[in-house]
């Protein structure tokens, strides 16, 4: 019993010591075996390893490619246009011994801080070099700039036991204050272009409007001129017809003109006019009556058909609407039909009067013949 009781603790201690002396290295890792802080063994192959319990310790590092995003920094190219640039890099731990000696117990966190400082320094150096402008950074040539940053950063990162695989520039923007100024300048430029377009449009509209107004004025002036010419010719023709018609009887013409003047001088509100017997206004009207009276106007003295031929023919303007043209044509046709009916009625009245005049003469002749016949009979 005593031996079994002693063997159990010894066995447990032996198992615990055996387990603590074993360690496993994954295929994604590299390991260092440290003894009192000193590197005793470098394990780069995956598998099972042994170490001295309590005295030795195992530190593991990731052997995969790691990524690091740097903070945005301001750079000033050769054209003095400040830019905000941020980048990212891909790296891996190439030499775990040198990495351990460089960063100590800080591990990957300290290594990334130092690597970010190295990258920022190289970015400022490359992008701030001569002949590198903001247009170059924003052009496809930025890939060449990234290669230059990669080559220069590799030498500095090698002292940390790191191998930089790739470096890329992500965003290249203007600083916030410069960005607002740029947007304001762009907005002002667009507003200026819009104002120019509006001014050109207004100018073109003004030219079109002026041309239209000039065309309207010219058209109206030509129409008024033609109307005045036509009206003058019509007045001249009317006066000629009046002169020829009334020239055969001047007294009747003077009487007619006096009646027309009298009619125009009277209005609806006041229809009573008092004249003196010696008024010159009535002289033209009653001189002929005071003398021998108005002469009889013989219709045979006027050639009605000739007067109608002398009257100007009326024409319907082609500019009138179709409905108005039809209405005028219908009115003219109705007037012509009415004139023909009146002419036919006058002809019938003339025939009836002629017949009536012939009938009394026959009766008179018969009556005159009857006494004679009676005398002969007696």
For residue range 243-302, what is the model confidence (pLDDT) as tens digits?
Answer: 777 777 777 777 777 777 777 776 666 567 676 666 666 665 565 555 444 445 455 555
Q: What percent of the chain has pLDDT over 70?
A: 74
Q: How high is the pLDDT of residue 369?
A: 42
Q: Cβ distance 142 to 87 under 8 Å?
A: no
pLDDT winner (highest mean) among 33-37, 153-157, 264-268, 297-301: 153-157
* pLDDT tens per residue across span 295-322: 454 555 555 566 555 555 555 556 656 7
Cα angle, residue 14 at apex, residues 9 and 19 outer, rounded to 5°: 125
Report the distance separating Cα 227 and Cα 219, nearest Å: 12
What local confidence, expressed as pLDDT, does residue 255 receive? 73
Intra-chain end-to-end CA distance of the chain, in Å? 217
User: Is the pLDDT higher at 76 or at 8?
Assistant: 76
Q: Say if residues 94 and 30 touch (Cβ distance below 8 Å).
A: no
In this prediction, residue 196 carries a pLDDT of 93
For the chain, the average pLDDT equals: 76
Alpha carbon separation from 141 to 78, 134, 206 (Å, rounded): 15, 11, 51
Q: What's CA 132's distance to the chain center, in Å?
A: 43
Half-sphere exposure of 165 (CA within 13 A, CB side): 11
**Residue 25 is encoded by which pair of tokens?**
């290295």
pLDDT in tens, 14-25: 667 666 677 788
Tell me the two tokens of residue 67. 């990524």
Q: Other CB atoms closer than 10 Å to residue 115's CB: what's the count?
A: 22
Give the pLDDT confidence of 100-120 residue by residue, as tens digits. Answer: 888 888 788 888 888 888 888
Which pTM value belongs to this model?
Answer: 0.44
Confidence category of residue 41, pLDDT binned at 50, 70, 90: confident
- pLDDT tens for 185-224 read 889 999 999 999 999 999 999 999 999 999 999 999 999 9
Q: What is the pLDDT of residue 204?
A: 93
Return the sign of the alpha-carbon dihedral for residues 339, 342, 348, 351.
negative
* pLDDT, greater one: 313 or 35: 35
Distance from C-alpha of 29 to C-alpha of 64, rounded to nearest angstrom? 8
Question: What gap in Å lies between CA 251 and CA 255, rounded to an integer?
Answer: 6
């Amino acid at each position: 019993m005593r031996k079994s009781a002693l063997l159990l603790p010894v066995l447990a201690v032996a198992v615990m010591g055996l387990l603590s002396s074993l360690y496993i290295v994954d295929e994604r890792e590299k390991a260092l075996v440290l003894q009192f802080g000193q590197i005793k063994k470098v394990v780069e192959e995956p598998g099972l390893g042994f170490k001295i319990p309590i005295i030795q310790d195992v530190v593991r590092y990731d052997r995969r490619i790691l990524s690091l995003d740097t903070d945005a920094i301001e750079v000033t190219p050769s054209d003095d246009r400040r830019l905000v640039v941020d980048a990212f890099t891909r790296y891996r731990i190439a030499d775990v011994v040198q990495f351990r000696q460089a960063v100590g117990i800080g591990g990957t966190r300290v290594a990334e801080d130092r690597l970010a400082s190295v990258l920022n320094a190289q970015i400022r150096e490359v992008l701030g070099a001569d002949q590198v402008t903001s247009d170059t950074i924003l052009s496809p040539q930025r890939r060449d700039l990234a290669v230059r940053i990669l080559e220069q950063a590799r030498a500095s990162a090698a002292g940390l036991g790191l191998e930089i695989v790739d470096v890329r520039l992500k965003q290249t923007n203007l600083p916030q204050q410069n960005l607002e100024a740029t947007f304001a300048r762009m907005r002002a430029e667009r507003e200026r272009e819009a104002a120019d377009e509006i001014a050109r449009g207004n100018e073109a509209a003004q030219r079109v409007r002026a041309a239209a107004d000039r065309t309207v004025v010219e058209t109206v002036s030509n129409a008024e001129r033609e109307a005045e010419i036509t009206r003058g010719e019509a007045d001249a023709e009317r006066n000629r017809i009046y002169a020829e018609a009334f020239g055969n009887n001047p007294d009747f013409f003077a009487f007619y003109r006096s009646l027309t003047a009298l009619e125009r001088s009277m209005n609806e509100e006041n229809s009573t006019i008092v004249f003196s017997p010696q008024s010159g206004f009535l002289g033209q009207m009653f001189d002929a009556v005071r003398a021998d009276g108005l002469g009889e106007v013989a219709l045979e003295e006027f050639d009605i058909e000739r007067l109608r031929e002398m009257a100007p023919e009326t024409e319907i303007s082609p500019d009138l609407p179709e409905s108005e043209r039809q209405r005028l044509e219908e009115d003219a046709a109705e007037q012509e039909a009415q004139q023909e009916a009146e002419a036919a009625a006058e002809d019938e009245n003339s025939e009836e009067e002629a017949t009536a005049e012939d009938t009394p003469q026959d009766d008179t002749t018969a009556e005159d013949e009857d006494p004679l016949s009676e005398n002969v009979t007696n």
